[in-house]
Amino acid sequence: MKVLIIEDERSLALEMEHFLKKERFTCDLAFNGKAAREIWCRQSYDFFLLDIGLPDISGLRLLKEIRLDHAEAGIIMITAKGDLEDRIQGLDLGADDYLPKPFSLLEMRARINAVGRRKFQINDFNIQLGGFVIDTRQRTLAYNAVKVELSKKEFDLLSFMALNKNRPLTRLQISEHLWPDSAMDDYDSNYIDVHIKNIRKKLQAYEPPDWLETVRGIGYKIHCID
């Protein structure tokens, strides 16, 4: 998939590019609105990551223009202000989702994935982990077509890790994804450990989940060779 990152903070844009390239996306960068226009006129993109607060052109105006040129593309707007007005207006103008700063790259990946699945009718809803299959559309886990019972949070945890497989995830990254609303909570890694323990126990009944690894000093990783 081809992604155009429109972000005036070069440092941030470069990190986003770095992350997405590792995830096998093709990326181009534009550090302002004018440059972005020139780039998307020459080439077409599947995805736009658009910072709403650009110095030269209003992000909302660019959003309209992108929609005109790329009717089918996925557009995720990045907002620093997080103003409700901007957010609502952006979604009205055709953005598919929004990402408030500061965001985690993993969260960005998850949003791209969700929008992509919705827009491009990709049929790979399933993620294979050993003998287990995660159906991300039905939100179920199965082993040899037998449904494995998981709680909602356990399923969220497992699918988030599966989406970011082969990447060590810190307990904080996981807990931020599972409890995004906790605006003031003390971060305590303990419950992630409890959840992982429970998941392992449930999976163990079918097949040892060797692919679910503990990374010492950091957290966990799903290791699997495609």
Partner 1 sequence: MHRLKLGTKLVLFATLSSLCIALLMILILPLFVKIVADRNTNAALRSQKSKVIKEIEANGLDYYLEGDSIYGSYSMLKDEYISIEPGNENQLADQIKTERRIVDQDTIVYRILTHTMRVSDKNYFIEIGRKISSISQDGRAMQKMALYVLAGIVILILLANVFYTRHLLRPLNYINTKLLNIKFPFTDTSPPVKTSTFDFKYLDQVISGLMVQINRDFRKEKEFSSNASHELMTPISIIQSKLENMIADASMRPAQVAKMEEIMRTLHRLKKIAKSLLLISRIDNDQYIREDTTSVKGLIEEVTGELHHRLVQKQLKLNNHLQQNVLLKNVNKVLLFQLFYNVLNNAIQYNKPRGVIDISDQLIGNQKYAVVIKDTGSGISEAQLPFIFDRFKRTTGASPDSNGLGLSIVHSIAQYHNLELAVSSDTSGTAFQIIFSNEHI
Phi, psi of 44 (to 5 degrees): -110, 155
Place of tokens 């399933």: 126
Is 94 an interacting residue with respect to partner 1 (CB under 8 A)? no
Is 105 an interacting residue with respect to partner 1 (CB under 8 A)? yes
- The residue from 22, 34, 64, 201 that contacts partner 1 (CB under 8 A) is 22
**Type of residue found at 123:** N
The interface region with partner 1, picked from 42-50, 140-148, 165-173, 201-209 by CB under 8 A, is: 165-173
- The residue from 52, 195, 196, 209 that contacts partner 1 (CB under 8 A) is 195
**Type of residue found at 215:** V
DSSP designation for 2: E
- The residue from 184, 205, 225, 226 that contacts partner 1 (CB under 8 A) is 184
DSSP designation for 210: T
Closer CB to partner 1, 7 or 46, in the complex: 7
Residues making up the chain, counted from first to last? 226
Closer CB to partner 1, 119 or 165, in the complex: 165
Contact present, 76 and 115 (Cβ < 8 Å)? yes
Is 111 an interacting residue with respect to partner 1 (CB under 8 A)? no
- The residue from 1, 2, 9, 89 that contacts partner 1 (CB under 8 A) is 9
CA distance 57 to 10: 17
